[in-house]
A and B are shown apart, each in its own frame.
Chain A
Amino acid sequence: MWRGFTTLLKRDLVLAMRRRTDILTTLFFFIIVVSLFPLGVGTEKEILRKIAPGVVWIAALLASMLALERLFADDHADGSLEQMLLTPQPVALLVLAKVTAHWLLTGLPLVLIAPLVGLQYHVGAGVTAVMMQTLLVGTPVLSLIGAIGAALTLGLRGGGILISLLILPLYIPVLVYGSGAVAESMAGGGELGAYFQLLFAFLILALVFAPWATAAALKISTE
């Protein structure tokens, strides 16, 4: 059963490596959004430090949402998605493989680029580390929840803008606790355990329920 998972994961990674611009687009979108805020709200260190947690998380939300449209779209267009649904493998597992690949290509780069944001917003090394950790736990949740929206809007006109309507409200808990943890570490509080426990709880919930809901949505969208 896991061979189906690893095969699909490898296939998606290889396909992405053949077309690297797709990964870089998401990454640069994130960097550009983050860089626009200082130009809009002013470059005082105090203000930047104050808005950094929210800005980095909202930019991550938007970046991961923009990348969602392509999660199933290419496979749907060339028919390979239907072949995958016809295989004896559990669909939820195949969904999980695709979401994992998607996160490795669009979520993980955001985590790795976070130190750059730390420098831009003068937040210091300790806070940057917390920022990276919250992104590391939080972005997989975004990919998992987003996959449901991507499956529901598969092949629709204006699917991209529709996904944002459906999915952004569902991202709120991750946004609240992700940026909450960063703000808390900035205020010098050591009580980060509760935030991380909740973020992990969201991750586990999303891991259990989202692939299953996505599989149901894919079956509805392709029948």
Chain B
Amino acid sequence: MNIKWFKYAAPSTFYPLAGRMIPWLWVSAVLFIGIGLYWGFFRTPSILTDQKEYYRIIFPHVAAAWMSMWLYIVLVGWALVGLIFQTRISFMMAEAVAPTGAIMTFIALVTGAFWGKTSWGTWWDWDPRMTSELILLFVYIGYMALQSAIDDRRRADRAAAVLALVGAVTVPIIFWSVNCPDPNQCTALHQQSGMGKVDRNIVIAMLVTSLGFWLYSFAIIFQRVRNIILERERNTRWVMALPEVRGGK
């Protein structure tokens, strides 16, 4: 079987593909987030031992926190592919992933603060997970700042990709250093994650919501990458031949 691995690595073939995928991604994202949140809000036990209705914020919280980490891995993956194969589309993907990743990190922090205020009586605590999520936000912001500070596209892409890789090496070390700075005091306020101990309905709602967040992320990332393609390739013949570009003139 002869698979053309690089067929969609060209912006001219990826642009229409992304365009065809976006409506499906949007529809399924709305569907999954709707079902997940409905299930979470109305079909799960209303009172866990010591927590009340406010625990339901975990559905968006967990989904956003997972996406914030997953999107950084995606970002690093595209940066790596871009540096190795010098494909334009991978840098564009990396650039498009960053804002959504930063937003997801921000959502996770804000919803976590609401959880913390109601559950632990404080908006913020310097707990390992919260601290490393905050630092992840700083890393996303650094990536976007470097990308937008350099006018030369080629240099901006590659410099930001190197920064993303350096961040990928350092983030685990940071996580582990804030996790247990003192070998004798490994206490954490944040719950350990463990799916086994949680009610099955809650797990289903969480997974469905997370899938919905994932679909939303890629819908918005594909839309952003289409804009980036149009902007960067605006002088090429295939972009000028696009009906949406021609129609505007």
Which chain A residues have a beta carbon within 8 Å of chain B's beta carbons?
A: 148, 152-153, 156-158, 162, 165-166, 168-170, 172-173, 176-177, 180, 184, 191, 194, 198, 202, 209, 213, 216-217, 220-221, 223
Contact = CB atoms under 8 A, between A and B. Distances in A.
A172 B174 contact: yes
Contacts, number: 70
Leading 6 A-B pairs by shortest Cβ distance: A173-B177, A169-B138, A166-B142, A220-B158, A176-B177, A176-B181
A169 B139 contact: yes
Given A169-B170, A177-B181, A202-B173, 20 more contacts: A148-B163, A152-B162, A153-B146, A153-B149, A157-B149, A165-B141, A165-B145, A166-B142, A169-B139, A170-B166, A170-B174, A172-B174, A173-B173, A176-B181, A180-B181, A213-B166, A216-B162, A220-B158, A220-B162, A223-B155
A168 B139 CA distance: 10
A66 B128 CA distance: 28
B178 A172 contact: yes
A176 B131 CA distance: 12
Interface of B: 135, 138-139, 141-142, 145-146, 149-150, 155, 158-159, 162-163, 165-167, 169-170, 173-174, 177-178, 181-183
A169 B145 CA distance: 14
B95 to A, nearest CB: 16
Given A172-B178, A177-B181, A217 B142 contact: no
A170 B143 CA distance: 13
A162 B166 contact: no
Nearest to B170: A170
23 contacts: A148-B162, A152-B146, A153-B149, A157-B149, A165-B138, A165-B141, A166-B146, A166-B163, A168-B138, A169-B142, A169-B170, A170-B167, A170-B170, A172-B135, A172-B178, A173-B173, A173-B177, A176-B177, A176-B181, A184-B182, A213-B165, A216-B162, A220-B158
B167 to A, nearest CB: 7
A157 B152 CA distance: 13
A72 to B, nearest CB: 14
A208 B211 CA distance: 39
Most chain B C-beta atoms within 10 Å of own C-beta, residue among A172, A191, A194, A217: A172
A194 B183 contact: yes
Contacts of A165: 138, 141-142, 145-146
A216 B138 CA distance: 23
Given A156-B149, A172-B174, A209 B181 contact: no
Nearest to B160: A152
Nearest to B174: A172
B177 to A, nearest CB: 4
Contact of A152 (B139, B159, B169): B159
Nearest to B139: A169
Contacts of A170: 166-167, 170, 174
Nearest to B161: A220
A166 B162 contact: no
Contacts of B141: 165
Contacts of A180: 181-182
Nearest to B135: A169
A158 B139 contact: no
Interface centre among A153, A191, A194 (most CB of B within 10 A): A153
Most chain A CB within 10 A, of B138, B139, B181, is at: B181
Contact of B174 (A152, A153, A173, A221): A173
B129 to A, nearest CB: 15
A166 B177 contact: no
A169 B177 CA distance: 12
A118 to B, nearest CB: 22
Contacts of A158: 149
B166 A156 contact: no
A89 B135 CA distance: 37
Contacts of B183: 191, 194
A62 to B, nearest CB: 16
Contacts of A217: 159, 162
A221 B145 contact: no
A221 B155 contact: yes
